[in-house]
Structure 1
Amino acid sequence: MKVDDIARHDAKPAPTDHVRLVVTDMDGTLLTPEKQVARSSVEMIDRLRAAGVAVCLVSSRAPVGIERYHQALNLNTPYAAMNGAVVRDGQGKTLSTLTLPVEAVKATIDMLDVHEVDGWLFCGSDWIVKDETAGYVPHEQKVLGLAPIVTKDFGPWEDKVGKITGSSADYDLLGRLEGEIGQMLEGQASVACSAQYYLDITPLNANKGYALCEIGRQLGVEPHEIACLGDMQNDVPMFDIVGLSIAMGNATAEVASHAHFTTDTNDNEGWAKAVERWILPRVGGNAS
Structure 2
Amino acid sequence: MYKLLALDMDGTLLNKEHKISRENFEAIQEALHMGVKVVLASGRIFGGMLSHLKQLNLVNDDNYSVSCAGGLVLNNTMSKIIQSNGLSIDDLKYVYGLTKELNLSLNIYTRDSILAFQDDIFSRFDAIANNVPLKIVDINSLRDDVEIYKMTIINDSIDVIMEAREFLEKLCPKDIIQDKCFKDIKRLECDVLDKISVKISDKYTVVKPLQFALEVINKDCNKWTGIKKIAEELGIQNEEIICIGDSENDEHMIKNAGLGVAMGNGFSKIKEIADYVTYTNDQHGVAHVINKFILGKEIAYAED
What interval of TM-score do these two structures reach, taking the shorter chain for normalisation?
Answer: 0.7 to 0.9
Counterpart Cα distance in 1 of 2:273 and 2:189: 21
* Deviating more after overlay: 79-88 vs 140-149: 140-149
Are the structure 2 counterparts of residues 203 and 247 from structure 1 closer, same or farther at C-alpha, using a change threshold of 3 Å? same
Q: Do structure 1's residue 209 and structure 2's residue 195 form an aligned pair?
A: no
Whole-Å separation in 1 of the counterparts to 2:100 and 2:18? 30
CA deviation after TM superposition for structure 1 residue 259, in Å: 0.7
1:139-154 → structure 2 map (5 Å cutoff) = 139-153=125-139
Distance in 2, Cα, partners of 1:101 & 1:187? 16
C-alpha RMSD over aligned residues? 2.2
Change (3 A) 1:264 1:46: same
For residues 253 and 280 of structure 2, the distance between their equivalents in structure 1, rounded to whole angstroms, comes to 19
Say whether 1:53 aligns with 2:39.
no
**Matched residues, number:** 264
Give yes or no for contact 2:82–2:230 (8 Å, CA) kept in 1.
Answer: no
Maintained 8 Å contact 1:30/1:37: yes
Tell me which residue corresponds to 1:40. 23
- Structure 2 gap segments, 5+ residues each: 164-187, 298-304
For residue 152 of structure 2, what is the aligned residue in structure 1? Answer: 165
Answer yes or no: is 1:136 the counterpart of 2:122: yes
- Report deviation, 1:184: 2.7
CA contact 2:27–2:287 (8 Å) conserved in 1: yes
**SS of equivalent to 1:88:** strand
Unpaired runs of 5+ residues, structure 1, are: 1-17, 283-288
Q: Give the % identical residues.
A: 24
TM-superposed CA distance for 1:136, in Å, is: 1.2
Question: CA shift at 1:211, angstroms?
Answer: 1.1
Closer/same/farther in 2, CA of residues 84 and 154 from structure 1, 3 Å limit: farther
Which residue in 1 is equivalent to 2:258?
Answer: 243
Deviation at 1:177, TM superposition (A): 4.8
Structure 1: distance between partners of 2:5 and 2:67: 16
Q: Secondary structure at the match of 1:213?
A: helix
2:48 counterpart of 1:65: yes
Counterpart of 1:104 (choices 70, 91, 97) is 91
**Residues 69-112 of structure 1 deviation map (CA, whole Å, 9 limit, x = unaligned):** 11111014110100111111132222322112444322222222
8 Å CA contact 1:62, 1:125 repeated in 2? yes
Q: Give the secondary-structure state (helix, strand or coil) at the position aligned to 1:28.
A: coil
Q: Secondary structure at the match of 2:296?
A: helix
Structure 1 residue matching 2:121: 3-state secondary structure: coil
